[in-house]
Structures are given as C-alpha cells and as structure tokens.
C-alpha cells in the first residue's frame, strides 16, 4: 500500500473531528502529530490516521457492557 500524506481538511473528514479537537487531542498526546511537508504546510500520514481510527474502534469494542461514553 502506498503511504499518503493527508492535509488537515482530509483528516477532519476522515475522523469527523473539527480542527480545534484535532489540535486538542494532539496536545494531550491522543492523536498523531503532523509531519512537515514544506514551508508552513503540514500533513498527517494516512497510516497514522488509519491506526488512530482503528484504536477508536477497538476502544468501542472493548468497552464493558453498560459503560457510558460521557455523552448525555
């Protein structure tokens, strides 16, 4: 499989997260950091984003029965 660098808009679309949440999760260490791609431009490796999405799926699947996700 070919590695792709995704720009922020594509990462937002893939994850369903807005920019502010992406950067908040990065600050907490809960989201992959971007890679520099030139000048002030950054992007995320598609494999990092795929792995993050998979980790969220595993969190969901391994949650004990009856556990709350924090939403009301």
- Give the separation between CA 12 and CA 23, rounded to whole angstroms: 11
Reported confidence tier of residue 63, pLDDT bands at 50, 70, 90: confident
Q: How do the domains of the chain map onto residue ranges?
A: 5-61
pTM to 2 decimal places: 0.82
> Quick one: which H or E segment has residue 13?
helix 8-15
Summarize pLDDT for 25-53 with one digit per residue, the tens: 999 999 999 999 999 999 999 999 999 99
φ/ψ (deg, to 5) at 38: 135, 135
């Amino acid at each position: 499989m070919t590695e792709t660098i995704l720009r922020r808009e594509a990462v937002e679309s893939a994850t369903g997260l807005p920019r502010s949440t992406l950067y908040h999760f990065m600050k907490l260490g809960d989201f992959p950091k971007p890679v520099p791609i030139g000048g002030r431009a950054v992007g995320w490796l598609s494999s990092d984003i795929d792995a993050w999405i998979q980790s969220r799926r595993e969190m969901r699947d391994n949650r004990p029965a009856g556990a709350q996700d924090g939403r009301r």
